[in-house]
Structure 1
């Protein structure tokens, strides 16, 4: 067995729990306890692993006998052979990895995950199906085991916190937790070359024949540490468990609990605001801190006598210790009673929403579930199911309250179309069941149910409109998912992992199609906008040279039409740094100079010398753009006549004002610069246009009637916005002024988008709502600050 390191204590460690040690544990003592715990876990793990391999061999034999063909039968035979040949190595590696977890724990490096984080966002596209199936199997086993062994696991977390210098230990960092056994098996299975189906059989057998007995390891480890004086009087209290920090633990004096027993107690926050967690932290850490802060605020609000939002009316709520008025014990509804009552409510919801299973194209109007009314229905179910009067534990009530706030936020989220809100609101009861079955649900950012809800909400925003439209049949797909949850979910959270895999695969294909369509539309529009930019640039260049001059109609026509087209062609093909562009612009200057009356002989000589070259340049330009030869010839002849007048020191007749205005307006419209005087934006419109310059690609607009369009791209130079529908198809190109006017008229609004997943947004909203509530209570409850030092 590997030896533990000799990391020196930092002197900040404190025991966690109801009873303080007389002094912090010394380094040798910590190592002694960890070695003893390691030995307990490894020795019992070795015994169970041998039995497990024996059962797995029997299971594979059975599958081989039931095989449908010789090929399948041969594969199972080969798999059995692989396991039989590597029995000793598998056992050695499994126990070695398990023991190594204690060494990592001592180094404060243990943080084992099931791999579910790969389900999130774009990472899913990088996960192979085999890896995904294996991850789902492991995560399901782990979550179920952690829920089943919640009490001994919680106690062991607290005791290991003492060995961890007072730093909080959770399930991922507990060296004897279920996830460590699962991860040790995953690593050990790398020794054998078997297919995914065989691995799934191995994991299912492990769940039945091994994990079902690890409670013995947890109990034995708890018993050893308790006998060594580490939190010997610890009582199960998951609702208020907090990190084992010196400031959180308070001393409970003798006689403060019945029979001298002591329980974990923690300081409640003073009235007022709880600091918001830092959003710049990694998402998992940030959301975990949000949940911790929410729990703290819930305790604070209820401690100061405020009713719990959504509490079942008619059912008392008691503190976790179960003491009622006057300190008399009160019967508390058990976890199984709560789950049973919720199952009845779930069945009722399914009966109400039978039409959800329909496959019709038309969206059936569906009223959202009344979240507040569900608490009263839960109260009724609990009272009907119990012969005796009982109360809801405060920690359970906080869970009910938190799930209720989650779904209340959903119903108020502007991102979600109303039809999707109504549909997803029926997941309230199943999610409340999950929170009771899997007590760490809110702390697990990678929980399959949580990721599924994120994906359903995101799909609703992307492909369902408030006008009743639905792209890619996504509404029907969401209906099917909700229906399956209501009908099939009893107490096995693996259903959510299966639905997550199915729905993610479906939406991933849709996203690829949508992205491809958007990209093609965007490339086309970008080409059009590039041409528009060039035309605007050309028109500005020509107008900057002609605006202050009185010019004949023929010259204005030549410069604003065919020669502007030629300039645009040159600028697009060769760029503004090219000689071709500079020569084409010089031709404009030469034309304008050639029309000025010539007084000196030098100017006359110069004009005669350049006239033939200028005519060649113009003819070449006309041919390049395919300009009508007859029209081109007339323009060149008119220019020659005007140049002769200039040589005679005469000025040509300028174009009449209406004619000039017409030619200039036509050129501006051709360049996309339409802004008549009567159509100038107001100050309010200009301000809105400036605000629109700040929006990001991907911003959704909802237009009159509920139609949703997304800004897939916009041109910062021309301020033209490309709007696509929920399939990624280009619907319109709108100018910033058009959008601004529609918004000011109430015909369009920006849907406040966010790149954060739904669950994270909900936790932020719940935190700020509870914090505001706590702050509003402060003046009446806090009183003057101060007191003895």
Structure 2
């Protein structure tokens, strides 16, 4: 990074970069994409630094002591001095990433794509920063991953490259790395760096929807993969996620007083359940509390036996501790008990885990693994009381992320365990074997697990999008098929016609109408023309009295034949069958023009009356059967269905022993179809609105609560404790 204070205007930097030979190989449209994005990114960085002073000043104002306050004041000064260098360094990295696209392998010539470790930074600082970046990147991918996928596909198509999203110059991983690289000379502590990262998310990453939309639009306008379906507009609730996560900046400020205040409030509720961990001793023995350090040693001892337990239901943590304390007391000759604050933590964790393990939303096959996390979570809660007050605590987040990832996980046995089960099992085993008293292990495991689930989620989301596109295409085809049926029946029902014409209309011209309806719609001039051709064909093979009818037929036939040939050509109808039909049609027209006599009528073709509705073959196999039951809009089960949104998880009871957990991937408005997928994104089920409501009504389906597992259990336990205190 340059150390001078010279400011390079964006247009000057662009011009200078464009003079280098690698850029000369970049398509002009890609230069436009780069420059358009650079303008937005530069504006976001300016907003970041304009607001950084205020944020850091607020942090300094809330600091607990002079040393901490000085950290924030020094950071403000350092940031003012190096602001221009950081802005310029960011854009230099950004431009260099586009230059790398011209090289043989962009994924190796671009930035490393992984977070840069700082030699002077402690390992725990690196972990904390990496978890923060992983979380930021994950949020962008969850929010705007579809649009980013499309942009990457278009870049690959344009450059004939094998770029992935991680190395896309506009991807969140690369944007974060430009920022980290540009600010590597900042002499600030990790708490300040985390604040700057949150500001980067607020003012730069929050606008990736616009960034990707404009880049895709520029490439689309020049014909790069025009068949890709546009990314859906981000929902209002998705936009609100960014502002919610902005509040996490407050979590970065040390707040021991606030943590203690929350824990004191919890202790007031836990008074009623104290005494749950008490060794069996003589009543006269004087009680002597063990230290927190000794308690952690006892828990570490118990932790070594957890993996060997066959049935987690048989493991009662408080009972196991009582037995250990009794043994310690007998050996020492003193009544050793757990200190009041530590016992409160033990009781609270035990009750929360009891609640989680009774949660119907948690797959039964996962409960044994979750139960094995009880001691590690208890130890971290004893060490750090912010575990209860800070939702972003790495240990708490790890537990919630595991539960969320397994939301769609069905029952499985040892042979059927998939990569997710194995990954969760590895996390549990690592904690049980390696966690003693250093909570940094949770940040490390959280970062690894987020990377794993992010990859899995992206794969499933791509499959879901393909499924939605296919289902919407089938629905459109089904509606067009019904419209063609309607047109055929309007034209044919009640008519007496040669069988050849009826079969032609049903088997050949129906395909022409279907194609026109799909391409132009049933209100288009093309549709009206094809329907008119069918009506003219029917009229032309019927006998009509009067000389005027004959003259009309003679005038009609040339244009009719041309329209029929054009339509059959468009639909790629069999040329041999087309030729055969036109020969038969010519003969029919000749007979119609012959004088109406008994002998001519006797020699005429056999006629049939079209008396039954024409039903065309379905667009798909296994179409949903329409339920004869009708439910009102105010029916409770219908309201349950209407509350479902794409992404909602539902569990279906297949039989007494088996359930199916699946996610609502799409609601096809045209046909009223609800399409469900499994955790991998594969279609497993579909229902009509009424059919799904009936499943809810008979108890064979229920929606799963996708709120955070630990938070939900903690709130339930606190509610029970409040009621218990009021009752006493």
Give TM-score, length-normalised by structure 2: 0.57
Q: 1:35 to 1:392 in 2, by over 3 A?
A: closer
> C-alpha displacement at 1:488, in angstroms?
1.2
Contact residue 512 and residue 567 of structure 2 kept, 8 A: yes
Q: Distance in 1 between matches of 2:415 and 2:452?
A: 19
**Residue in structure 2 matching 1:712, options 637, 662, 665:** 665
> C-alpha displacement at 1:432, in angstroms?
0.8
**Residue in structure 2 matching 1:766, options 710, 717, 722:** 717
> C-alpha displacement at 1:448, in angstroms?
1.5
Contact residue 116 and residue 446 of structure 1 kept, 8 A: no
Contact residue 539 and residue 668 of structure 1 kept, 8 A: no
Pairwise mapping of residues 167-206 of structure 1 onto structure 2 (< 5 A)? 183=191
Paired residue total: 511
The alignment partner of 1:683 has SS state of: coil
Q: Distance in 2 between matches of 1:482 and 1:536?
A: 55
The alignment's C-alpha RMSD in Å is 5.3
Q: 1:116 to 1:471 in 2, by over 3 A?
A: same
The alignment partner of 1:490 has SS state of: coil
Match of 2:367 in 1: 421
Pairwise mapping of residues 128-207 of structure 1 onto structure 2 (< 5 A)? 183=191
> C-alpha displacement at 1:558, in angstroms?
2.8
Q: 1:131 to 1:428 in 2, by over 3 A?
A: farther
The alignment partner of 1:506 has SS state of: helix
Match of 2:320 in 1: 377
CA displacement, residues 516-574 of structure 1 (integer Å, 9 cap, x when unaligned): 44444444444444433432333344345555767665444333321111112123334
The alignment partner of 1:572 has SS state of: helix
> C-alpha displacement at 1:606, in angstroms?
4.2
Contact residue 368 and residue 422 of structure 1 kept, 8 A: yes
Contact residue 343 and residue 490 of structure 1 kept, 8 A: yes
Match of 2:277 in 1: 312
Q: Distance in 2 between matches of 1:644 and 1:600?
A: 12
Match of 1:749 in 2: 701
Match of 1:477 in 2: 423
Contact residue 466 and residue 708 of structure 1 kept, 8 A: no
Contact residue 513 and residue 531 of structure 2 kept, 8 A: yes
CA displacement, residues 81-113 of structure 1 (integer Å, 9 cap, x when unaligned): x99xxxxxxxxxxxxxxxxxxxxxxxxxxxxx9
Q: Distance in 2 between matches of 1:641 and 1:602?
A: 18
CA displacement, residues 60-79 of structure 1 (integer Å, 9 cap, x when unaligned): xxxxxxxxxxxxxxxxxxx9
Q: Distance in 2 between matches of 1:736 and 1:530?
A: 18
The alignment partner of 2:461 has SS state of: helix
**Residue in structure 2 matching 1:299, options 249, 257, 268:** 268
The alignment partner of 1:696 has SS state of: coil
Q: Distance in 2 between matches of 1:396 and 1:484?
A: 25
Q: 1:597 to 1:36 in 2, by over 3 A?
A: closer
Query: Which consecutive unaligned segments of at least 5 residues does structure 2 have?
Result: 1-60, 74-117, 122-127, 142-171, 181-187, 197-240, 252-257
Q: 1:712 to 1:465 in 2, by over 3 A?
A: farther
**Residue in structure 1 matching 2:311, options 359, 367, 380:** 367
Match of 1:67 in 2: none
Contact residue 542 and residue 560 of structure 1 kept, 8 A: yes
Q: 1:674 to 1:638 in 2, by over 3 A?
A: farther
Q: 1:295 to 1:593 in 2, by over 3 A?
A: farther
Q: Distance in 2 between matches of 1:412 and 1:497?
A: 27
**Residue in structure 2 matching 1:502, options 445, 448, 455:** 448
> C-alpha displacement at 1:490, in angstroms?
0.9
**Residue in structure 1 matching 2:558, options 612, 617, 624:** 612
Q: Distance in 2 between matches of 1:727 and 1:669?
A: 29
Is 1:728 aligned to 2:681, yes or no? yes
Q: Distance in 1 between matches of 2:62 and 2:379?
A: 39
Query: Which consecutive unaligned segments of at least 5 residues does structure 1 have?
Result: 1-33, 47-78, 84-112, 135-179, 189-278, 317-323, 353-365, 782-789
Match of 1:343 in 2: 300
Q: 1:574 to 1:410 in 2, by over 3 A?
A: same
Contact residue 341 and residue 385 of structure 1 kept, 8 A: no
> C-alpha displacement at 1:294, in angstroms?
9.7
Q: Distance in 2 between matches of 1:697 and 1:647?
A: 67
The alignment partner of 2:335 has SS state of: coil
The alignment partner of 1:695 has SS state of: coil
Q: 1:766 to 1:282 in 2, by over 3 A?
A: farther
Q: Distance in 2 between matches of 1:711 and 1:507?
A: 19
> C-alpha displacement at 1:407, in angstroms?
1.6
Match of 1:269 in 2: none
Contact residue 714 and residue 720 of structure 1 kept, 8 A: yes
**Residue in structure 2 matching 1:123, options 139, 162, 179:** 139
> C-alpha displacement at 1:475, in angstroms?
1.4
Contact residue 416 and residue 457 of structure 1 kept, 8 A: yes
Q: 1:543 to 1:647 in 2, by over 3 A?
A: farther
Contact residue 356 and residue 710 of structure 2 kept, 8 A: no
Q: Distance in 2 between matches of 1:295 and 1:573?
A: 68
Q: Distance in 2 between matches of 1:476 and 1:330?
A: 45
The structure with the largest alpha-carbon Rg is 1
Contact residue 555 and residue 639 of structure 1 kept, 8 A: no
Match of 1:9 in 2: none
